[in-house]
Structure 1
Amino acid sequence: MGDKFSLKGRVAVVTGGARGCGMAFAQGLAEAGASVALLDMLDPVISISDLSAQYGVTFRYYKTDVTSLESLRSSFDAIKTDFEGKLDILCATAGVNKNVHFLDTTEDDFNKLFDVNARGVYFTAQLAAKAMIENKTKVGSIILVASIASHMAIRSQRSSAYCGTKGAVRAMVPGIAAEMNAFGIRVNSISPGYVRTEMTAPFPDLIESWKDEIMNGRVAEPDDIKGCAVFLASDASRYVTGADYRVDGGVTMW
């Protein structure tokens, strides 16, 4: 069974991979043997050389704006060169949020959230799928990162537009999965719950308030969520497509 979780020899792209959940997913994929291309506007919190040395695989970083097709295409072109045309896995994690009341949400707020969280995810997935088809991978896996916000209201934040963006991500998965099935590419999503990251760590009171909402009474660490990405990227999930996995400590069931 262990070999079914191995990603040795595979190449993964992780957007939003410089920190937080994206970095956790990247580390999980690397632990399983995949080489990883990190795409982000921010510099990685762990150096590329340290990541490569720690996991014994190739890591590369590409400064990328997922709202720009030109930037995305440039990064995928560079990945094609650097990894000799190979691409097997996408984990589209890049996303932003803004704590703003529904009645105060501006058009700029709305557009920014949808540009990054929905449009950026969609076209990142499209470019990854084209690269997988071009290199004829037999193990293609596209993982889109949605959120518990696609299943429920976030009581501790004013985030109706954000919920809409993550709902869009989750809703697009079955359609993309159906259209990619002919190419042997599986498409699924992960909906993480409350996670302690570099973005949330400066708000200890908020993190503390989340605990009462979670069935198992604790906020996730990034290490808690990366196993789901490894499962969906690997042969262990070869019969799984079009699905959403909630990794949320039971918050959506509570």
Structure 2
Amino acid sequence: MTTFNPRGLGDVKVTDRFDLTGKNFLITGGGGGIAPEPVEEFKSLGDRYGVKTFYTRGDVTKQDSLEKAFTECIDAIGGQLHGALTAAGIVMDTPLLDADWEITQRVLNVNVMGTYWTIKLLAQHLVETKTPGSIVAIASINAQSLYVSVQPKSAHNASKAAIKGLMGPLAGELGQYGIRVNCISPGAIQTPMLARLQGEKRAILDWYENGAPLQRLGVPEDLTPMVCYLLSDAAAFTTGADMLVTGGLHAGSALK
């Protein structure tokens, strides 16, 4: 465990600051999308150092289910978490005029409320145990309000903008406890959600791939190093930040 030192990490070597050995992390959304890759990375670290990976089911939109899953995780690891990756999320690519009330509500519940309450549970745990920690949320490049004419995802974009908007206030609230809060805004990442863009929607996928300055779609493995960085002591002086991992999409289209 790393003791919170308001003056920084002193003489600790740079490479040692990335070491996650002996730390426990909660990851939501591990069943699909972006989260499985960080899960596998942490599992490989665990296999190397004899640490176990614990899986459980929970619904981030239901208080009882989320609290039960959280308690199960605490019990399974022996009582102490050091951080979290909140990656549970869903997409609704429906124009406003065709939007369904219940589906829209679920998008907002999963993406915004699920993230908010997961952060709250972990923050309470860290404060009660007097443990510094790091929380990483998944926002999106769509939080920048781009691509209006490319893909109609207003509800999804709003939910990701809300996650991004949480970072500053939560960093301000939790910094006094040594808790850092940051988000990652991915670009177009090859996940099952993106794979649905076929047929008439294939042009959208082509635009994402060809429009990025790096001329390719991202893969979940592109995000894992950033997740590990933010969860580690290497990011000890980073909080309230939005880390853009987009292949350059946020900077504009590629020159051809």
**Do they fold alike, i.e. is TM over 0.5?**
yes
1:215 aligns with 2:213: yes
More strand, by proportion: 1
What code does the residue aligned with 1:143 have?
V
Counterpart in the other structure of 2:126: 132
| In 1: Cα distance, 2:235 partner to 2:158 partner | 28
Distance of 1:194 and 1:71 partners within structure 2: 31
1:111-126 to structure 2, matched below 5 A, reads 111-126=105-120
Matches within 5 A, 1:56-75: 56-75=50-69
What amino acid is aligned across from residue 227 of structure 1 in structure 2?
A: P
The equivalent position to 1:175 in structure 2, one of 165, 169, 179, is 169
Q: What code does the residue aligned with 2:206 have?
A: E
Query: What's the CA shift for 1:90?
Result: 0.7
Distance 1:84 1:54, change over 3 A: closer
- Structure with larger Rg: 2
Conserved 8 A contact 1:85-1:135: no
Q: What CA distance in whole angstroms lies between the structure 2 residues aligned with 1:202 and 1:118? A: 23
Quote the offset at 1:225 in angstroms. Answer: 1.1
Secondary structure of the 1:141 match is strand
How many residue pairs get matched? 234
SS at match of 1:191: strand
Other-structure match for 1:24: 37
Q: What amino acid sits opposite 2:146 in the alignment? A: A
Per the alignment, residue 231 of structure 1 pairs with: 229
TM-superposed deviation, 1:198: 3.0
Query: Post-superposition, which runs of at least 4 consecutive aligned residues in structure 1 deviate over 6 A?
Result: none
Aligned residue in 2 for 1:38? none
Picking from 90, 94, 109, the partner of 1:100 is 94
**In structure 2, what is the equivalent of residue 10 of structure 1?**
23
Shift of 1:30: 4.2
Q: Distance in 1 between matches of 2:209 and 2:145?
A: 16
Deviations 1:118-147 (A, max 9, x none): 011000100011112222223x00111100
Is 2:94–2:152's contact at 8 Å kept on the other side of the alignment? Answer: yes
**Alignment counterpart, residue 145 of structure 1, candidates 125, 132, 138:** 138
The residue identity in structure 1 corresponding to 2:220 is P
Give 5+ residue unaligned stretches, structure 1: 36-52
Using the alignment, how far apart are the partners of 1:7 and 1:86 within structure 2?
14
Alignment partner, residue 3 of structure 2: none
Equivalent residue of 2:193, what SS? coil
1:248 corresponds in structure 2 to 246
The alpha-carbon distance between structure 1 residues 111 and 246, as it changes in their structure 2 partners (threshold 3 A), is same
Change (3 A) 1:10 1:54: closer
Question: Following the alignment from structure 1 to structure 2, what is the Cα–Cα distance between the partners of residues 77 and 247?
Answer: 32
Percent of aligned pairs with the same amino acid: 31
Question: Retained in 2: the 8 A contact 1:28–1:229?
Answer: no
Is the contact made by 1:196 and 1:207 (CA closer than 8 Å) also made in structure 2?
no
- Partner amino acid for 2:135? I
Deviation per CA, 1:53-112: give whole Å up to 9, x if none: 588531111111110011110011111111111100110000001111012223223211
RMSD: 1.8
Letter of the 2:226 counterpart: C
TM-score (norm 1): 0.86
Q: What secondary structure, in the 3-state scheme, does the structure 1 residue paired with 2:79 have?
A: coil
What code does the residue aligned with 2:192 have?
E
